[in-house]
Chain A
Amino acid sequence: MVKYFLYRVSLIPLIILGVVTIVFIILRLSGDPVSLFVGQDATPAEIEEVREEMGFNDPMIVQYGKYLGDVIRLDFGNSMRYGVPAFNLLPKRLPATLQLASFALFISIFIGILFGTVSALKQGTVLDAICSTITLIGQGAPVFWIGVMLILLFSVKLKLLPATGAGGIEHLILPGFTLGIFFAARVARITRAAILDIIAQQYIWTARAKGADEKRVFTLHIAKNAAISVITIIGLSIPSLIGGAVMTEAIFNWPGIGGFIVTAVFNRDYAIVQAGVVILAMTVAVTNIVVDFIYCYLDPRIKLGR
């Protein structure tokens, strides 16, 4: 287990290298970087001076080498908009994103398992049809549409919940639902399929034939065995929840890292985009490792190894 852990941790720098290289190439492809540092009325001489000063006249491979050196020192340069090191701006926004993603995860687990279980246990009934339809909508509807609809209903019409900003738990509910609903639909589908699969197994028939009551059959035999598939899909969803918070943060004006990076992309604030993507990549990589180890904790039959 320790060997496997060290192996996984050793892969993180390679993942980061891949991410920073892709970001470097994409940002350079999107236009002349010098245009960010001069005004619209700049003269050719001013432009050339800035280009030389910022090293944009160097060959691309030299620029890439310098860039990698800076990344290793976590120096992504100063934010163009804020005028301070970009890396310093991000950590204070990460907790808000993690808070939103955690709440959305809780929502998706709760709703997903509830709907999936009801749907499976009442297979073929109206209740199954309702739950299946809701999960289908949850998975098919775009995040921005769900967000706007929830705001219109709960904030504009009913005035029950705040539409924007962060604060108490009430501020978390709408963005949490918006972000979590897609993943809830996925969890519900997997839960339903897993339970239906297990219900058809012979050991369930055996348990019932032995006279075990339905509650005992469900908790001891069905739920326990279905959990592995459900936890797998939940684990796979966690990185997507963190990365997927970008759109939700924008709609709800949530002060997290996602919305901050989106604004930086529109402003072409290279330093923030680069630092933000690296932090998100690290978060996702670490989360993946943690999820792998949670499998082992929950089901000791699973052994990790290369």
Chain B
Amino acid sequence: MLKKTLILIISLLVLLTGTVGIGVAEKSDAKTELVLALTNLPTSLDPLQDSGLSALTTYDLLYDRLVDIDEKGNIIPSLALSWEPTGEKVWTIKLRKNVVFHNGENFDAYTVKSVIDRALTAPESKQSAQVSLISEVRVIDGYTVEIETKEPWALLVNRLSRLWMYPTKYFDEVGPQGFSENPIGGGEYKFVKWKQDDYLVLEKNENYWRKEQSGIKKITLRHTPDITARINAVQAGEADMAFIIDPEQAVMMEGLGYKLISQPIGQAYIYFFRTTLDSPLSDVRVRQAINYAVDKDIIVNEIFMGKTRKLDGQPVGPDCSGYNPNISAYPYDVEKAKKLLTEAGYPDGFTIDFDGTAGLTPKDKEAAVLIADQLSKVGITMKITLNERGVYLDKLFNAKMAPFWAISLNYAPTMDAYGPLNNATSFTAHKSNADPEFDAKYLKWLAIFNPEEGKVISDELLQRYHDDALALFLWQVPGVYVLQPNIEGIKMRPDYTIDLTNAVVK
């Protein structure tokens, strides 16, 4: 029997040393190489096939888009040099010349038309919703396109920041599958090799068109969904940078001598009031009182350890193009909160049901408990239900939320106020607010082409959001990144892309 057991063990060893198709993990060993542990690699390297935020970092290294977004959420030129409305529903866009893709194919107006047409119609396109209002793209000359929309659409150019350009002739030759396996872009880095859900290796495009360029010659992006694994990879020296870690881990890593980048993500975490329900929250004074009764600084400093920022009394941060600098956060003022509650007829407070999230964003559970404690000081009892993601979405889409409920309003990567403003209209499924005046002004804003005029209207909408206290304005979702001590000059942009222009490995 021992011989038989031995045979089994030897067979097992043969199996172990057999060639199982696993890729070799990449390690950086030179001063011009970086290994980045990302939360996720894209599911496809075809930039139309993954619309997730985590894919943007990768796509932005491999491809260029028509417009970029600066740190204040403003649209800035990239492959498009200028854009202007030339009709009620028409935009004319002038394109950059002398840009070539990595295979030598030229970028021109036909590229733009082909990419947008495919984004709209291809079954595999995950970007169709972003550009769904486009009715036609017309090539005017080699470097000018006209984009016509189904209705006046001021946010068209913001939406174009979701479309990365690729060589369409090459794409037509190889098809979506072939392109995803051997992608060719026009960005600062070229494709070298990829193993889905494992790693992606890129190398510098020495013929890149921008004047300011990174000195990093090779980048390995590693798919590392587990937060502990990302930290471990940095501590073990296998990664130079780990994306999105918890605030506690950030403080721990900082204590160990690692560097941090703290760049809040374009997501506003707020608690909505369902003003349409018959509850104490239908009174604006009660809603304002709740805003005064919650100390947002304590939440940011104690729960998030200072690794994010509180919202300035509006559902977007200063990294959003719609941000209104004239609005400030409701100060922490318990006496004023009590006074407002008394005026509203609730001197002893009241009990209110609350639907929160459980792990949908960092620290949401801990903050809910702290906020309940703060509200108890003005007599408001918050009956908390923390919902798992599935249950939460079920309630959201079926208008079954409690009168007081939590939401993370996403405005990345286009960094405009569309999502947060839309959620305060009656056009959403959850219907927390139904104010005809607000709805009308919102629709008016969507149709204003002039950016300055549009900003005036969106400022008014945000002011009303604030004054009517349509929500308890809390914090921006933190984005914390940890780096090896010898890395300098890396910047994370609020739209989830990475700036390596000044990156140095010492």
Q: Which of A's residues lie within 8 Å of B, judged by CB?
A: 30-32, 34-36, 38-44, 47, 81-83, 92-93, 95-96, 98-99, 102-103, 105-106, 109, 144, 148, 151-152, 155-156, 159, 162-169, 171-172, 219, 223-224, 227, 231, 250-253, 255, 259-260, 263, 266, 268, 294, 297-299
Q: Judging by beta carbons under 8 Å apart, are A255 and B229 in contact?
A: no
Least CB distance from B23 to A in Å reads 7
Chain A at the B interface: SS class = helix
Binds A, one of B274-282, B285-293, B419-427, B432-440: B419-427
Q: Judging by beta carbons under 8 Å apart, are B410 and A40 in contact?
A: yes
Asked if B226 is an interface residue, CB under 8 A from chain A, the answer is yes
Q: Judging by beta carbons under 8 Å apart, are A32 and B25 in contact?
A: no
Q: Considering only CB atoms and an 8 Å cut-off, how many residues of chain B contact the other chain?
A: 63
Least CB distance from B268 to A in Å reads 12
Q: Judging by beta carbons under 8 Å apart, are A163 and B235 in contact?
A: yes
Q: Judging by beta carbons under 8 Å apart, are B236 and A99 in contact?
A: no
Chain B residues with Cβ below 8 Å from A151 are 232, 235-236
Most buried by A among B224, B236, B396: B236
Asked if B428 is an interface residue, CB under 8 A from chain A, the answer is yes
Assembled-state Cα–Cα distance A299/B5 (Å): 11
Q: What are 27 A-B contacts with C-beta separation under 8 Å?
A: A31-B394, A35-B393, A36-B393, A40-B409, A41-B419, A42-B397, A43-B427, A43-B428, A82-B44, A95-B22, A155-B232, A159-B237, A162-B25, A162-B238, A163-B236, A164-B224, A164-B229, A164-B236, A165-B233, A167-B22, A169-B16, A219-B2, A253-B225, A253-B229, A255-B23, A298-B4, A299-B1
Least CB distance from A173 to B in Å reads 11
Asked if B450 is an interface residue, CB under 8 A from chain A, the answer is no
Chain B residues with Cβ below 8 Å from A109 are 9
Q: Judging by beta carbons under 8 Å apart, are B236 and A251 in contact?
A: no
With A35-B393, A159-B236 in contact, do A102 and B25 touch (Cβ < 8 Å)?
A: no
Most buried by A among B22, B225, B226: B22
Q: Judging by beta carbons under 8 Å apart, are B225 and A32 in contact?
A: no
Q: Judging by beta carbons under 8 Å apart, are B22 and A255 in contact?
A: yes
| Smallest CB-CB A-B distances: 6 pairs | A31-B390, A35-B393, A165-B25, A155-B236, A163-B236, A32-B394
Chain A residues with Cβ below 8 Å from B199 are 165
With both beta carbons as reference points, the residue of chain B lying nearest to A163 in the complex is identified as: B236
Indicate which residue in A31, A155, A294 contacts B393 across the interface (CB closer than 8 Å): A31
Least CB distance from A293 to B in Å reads 12
Asked if B467 is an interface residue, CB under 8 A from chain A, the answer is no
Chain A residues with Cβ below 8 Å from B121 are none
Chain A residues with Cβ below 8 Å from B453 are none
